[in-house]
Amino acid sequence: METGEAGRHVRYAADEKPPAPLAFGLGLQLAMLTIAGIVLTPSIVIRAGGGSDTYLSWAAFAAVAVCGVTTIVQAVRVGRIGAGYVLLMGTSGAFIAVCIGAMAQGGPALLATLVIISSFFQFALAARLSLVRRIFTPSVAGTVIMLIAVTVMPIIFDMLGKAPEGAPALAAPVSAGVTIAAIVGIALAAKGVWRLWAPVIGVVVGSAAGGAFGIYDFARVAEAAWIGFPEGGWPGFDLDFGPAFWALLPAFVLVTLVGAIETVGDSIAIQHVSWRERRAVDYRAVEGAVAADGMGNLLSGLFGTIPNTTYSTSISVTELTGVAARRVGVAVGLIFLVLALLPKALAIVLAVPGPVVAAYATVLLAMLFVVGMRIVVQDGIDYRKGIVVGVSFWIGVGFQNGVIFPEYFAEFAGGLLQNGMTAGGAAAIFLTICLEAAKPRRRRMETAFDDSAFPAVSGFLRQFASRNAWSGDTAQRLDAIGEEALATLMQGSGERGERRPRRLRVSASRDDGGAILEFIVASGEDGNLEDRIALLGEHTAGTPAEHEISLRLLRHLASSVRHQQYHDTDIVTVQVKAVE
C-alpha cells in the first residue's frame, strides 16, 4: 500500500492521544492476538530441547514480562532506545533452531549465556547501523530467514506425531490436522481483522480436539495459581565457555543480526502507517528500534528465556484501525506485565497438546519462509542477487543435511557448519561482499564539513565527470547538485552555534547512464531533506526563502534524493542522469 493512501486512514497519529478506553481496548486486542505466539515459542523450544515443565513455566513468565517492558520502551523511547512507535515485542521464531540446539547441548544455562552475549552485537549494530547497510542487506536477511524453516521443520515434523503415553492413536493426527485446517481455512477465507485471529482460533480448535482425546493438560491449568510468580525455574548462567558455546555462538550472532534486519523492516513499515502525511523514514527511530530489540534480548538472557523481536502484527492492526498513538503501545506493554503475573492464564496456553503446538509451528515457519522470500524480492532481484540468494540457500540446505563433503566439514570448527543458517548466512554475507567489490569503482574524497568543502567537492565532481568523458553540461549539473546538497545540509548549523568539528565524505559512481552521489556527514537537526523537498509542492505562494530555492534546484537537477538520518551520521544519496 502506498504511504499516502495509508496516511488518509489515520485517526490518531503517533504523537496524538486517543481516549484511554480506546487505547486500552486496542491494546487488549493486540495482546490477545499475540500472547499465544509469545508463550508457544518457548514451549516449542523447551519441549524439543528436552527441558523440564518447571523451566517451561519460568520461561513463559519471563518471556511475557520482558515483552511487556520492551513494548513500552519501543513506544515511549528512552534516550536512544526505542522507536517511538507502536511496535509489539514478542518471542522470536527466528531463534527456534539455535535455541533448540543450545537446550540440547548445554541446557537452559547455556541458552541464557548465549542470548546475553549475542545481544551485545545487536547494540553494536544499532550504534553503527549505517556502516553495515551494504553488507547486511535484505537479500542476506531473506536468505537466512528462509533457512530458519529448513533448519527447524524436521524437528517440528517429529513433534507432530508425539502424544502422551496411552493416548488414542488418532489423538495426534486429528488434533494437529484440525489445527492446521482451521488456521489455513480462516487465513484464506476471512477478511480484515478476522484474518489476524486465524492462529489463535486454530490453536483453540486444536486444543478442543486434543481435549476430546484426553491429551489437553487440564491438570497443569488446575494446579496453577491465579496470581503470583512461578516457583523456581531460573536457570542461571553457564560460564564454562566450552566447545558447545563456541560452536553455537556464531549461529546466535548471525540470527541476532538477521533479527535486527527484520526489526529494521518493521520499524520502517510502522512509520509508513503512523502519520497522515507522507514522511521520509527516520533512521534514528530505526536505530532506536534495534537498540530496544537488543535490550529485550539482554533481558531475555538475564531472565533465562527465549530472545524477542518486533511483531509485524502491530503494523497490520495499526493499518486496519488507523490508531497509531504511542499510548496504545504503552497499554499493550502494561497488559503483558499483568498477564505475566497470572500463572493460570499462561498455563492455559502451556497446556496446549504437543501436536497442536507443532501444527501451529508448521504454519508459523511456512509463513516465515514466505516472509524471507518477500524480503528478497522486495529488495529487487537481478541475476547477481539471484546467484547470491540461490547459491547461499542451497549451501545452507546441503550443510544442514550433512551432504556437502561431510568428511571434511562435519567436524570443522566444532561442527559450526552443520547448522544450515550459519553456513548459508556466511555464504550470503561473503557473496554480498564480493558483489559489492565487483560494482563499478567508487571515487571518494573526504574533507572538513565547513565552507572549505564547497570548492573541494566541486573539483572532485568535475574530475569525476571528466574521467567518464561526460559533457560539460553533465559536469555542471554534478557541480550544482553538490553545491545545493551541501548548502541545504549546512543550512541552520551556524544558527545553532555548533562548534563540534564534523567531516564530510563524498563518493561518486557510475550507474545506468548516470551517477550516484553519496554525501556522508555527522548528523544535524535541520530535518529530513526528503520531507522538505516533498513539502515544496504544497507551499508555492510568496517569495521562497534562500534554503527553499536550494531545495527546488536540487529537486530539479536530481532524478532522486534519499536522506537517511542516523544518530551520528547523515547519508544523502542523489541519483542523476548524464546529459546527452
Residues 456-469 have pLDDT tens digits of 988 898 888 888 88
Q: Output the pLDDT for position 57.
A: 86
Q: For residue 309, what are the contacts with CB-CB under 8 A and spacing of at least 6?
A: 89, 90, 91, 92, 94, 259, 262, 263, 293, 296
Q: Which CATH number fits domain 443-577: 3.10.20.90, 3.40.50.11440, 3.40.50.10790, 3.30.565.10?
A: 3.30.565.10
List the strands of the sheet with 570-577, edge to edge: 443-448, 503-511, 514-521, 570-577, 560-565
Whole-angstrom distance, CA of residue 284 vs CA of residue 291: 10
Which range (185-189, 285-289, 370-374, 515-519) has the least confidence?
A: 370-374
Q: Which residue type, as a one-letter code, is found at position 11?
A: R
Please name which of 199, 184, 146 lies closest in space to residue 371, comparing C-alpha atoms. Answer: 146
Whole-angstrom distance, CA of residue 545 vs CA of residue 551: 10
Whole-angstrom distance, CA of residue 252 vs CA of residue 301: 12
DSSP state of 129: G
Angle between the N-to-C axes of helices 243-272 and 313-321, in degrees from 0 to 180, rounded to the nearest 10: 10
Q: Output the pLDDT for position 334.
A: 93
Which whole number is the average pLDDT over 287-303?
A: 92
Q: Which three cell numbers stand for residue 266?
A: 518493521
Please list, residue by residue across 419-454, b when 16 or more beta carbons sit within 10 angstroms of its beta carbon and e when fewer do: bbbbbbbbbbbebbeebeeeeeeebebebebeeebb
Residue 8 scores a pLDDT above 50:
no
Written as one string, the DSSP assignment of 192-244 is: THHHHTHHHHHHHHHHHHHHHTT-S-HHHHHHS-SSSPPSS----------HH
Q: Output the pLDDT for position 491.
A: 67
Residue 2 scores a pLDDT above 70:
no
% of the chain residues with pLDDT over 70: 85
Which range (110-114, 302-306, 417-421, 494-498) has the least confidence?
A: 494-498
Band of the pLDDT at 7, cuts 50, 70, 90?
A: very low
Higher pLDDT, 317 or 153: 153
Q: Output the pLDDT for position 532.
A: 47
Match 523537498 to its residue by C-alpha cell.
Answer: 533
Alpha helices in 79-197 (DSSP H): 96-127, 138-160, 171-189, 193-196
Which whole number is the average pLDDT over 334-350?
A: 86
Residue 90 scores a pLDDT above 80:
yes
How many C-alpha atoms does 206 have within 13 Å on its Cβ side?
A: 31
Q: Output the pLDDT for position 465.
A: 85
Domain ranges in the chain?
3-380, 443-577
Residue 495 scores a pLDDT above 60:
no
Q: Which three cell numbers stand for residue 71?
A: 513494548
**Angle made by CA atoms 374, 136, 285, in degrees to the nearest 5:** 85
Residue 300 scores a pLDDT above 80:
yes
Higher pLDDT, 569 or 103: 103
Q: pLDDT tens, 161-217?
A: 777 777 888 888 999 899 999 988 888 887 766 776 788 888 889 989 888 888 888
CA distances from 79 to 75, 82, 84, 86, 284 (A): 12, 8, 10, 17, 11
Higher pLDDT, 271 or 302: 302
Residue 325 scores a pLDDT above 60:
yes
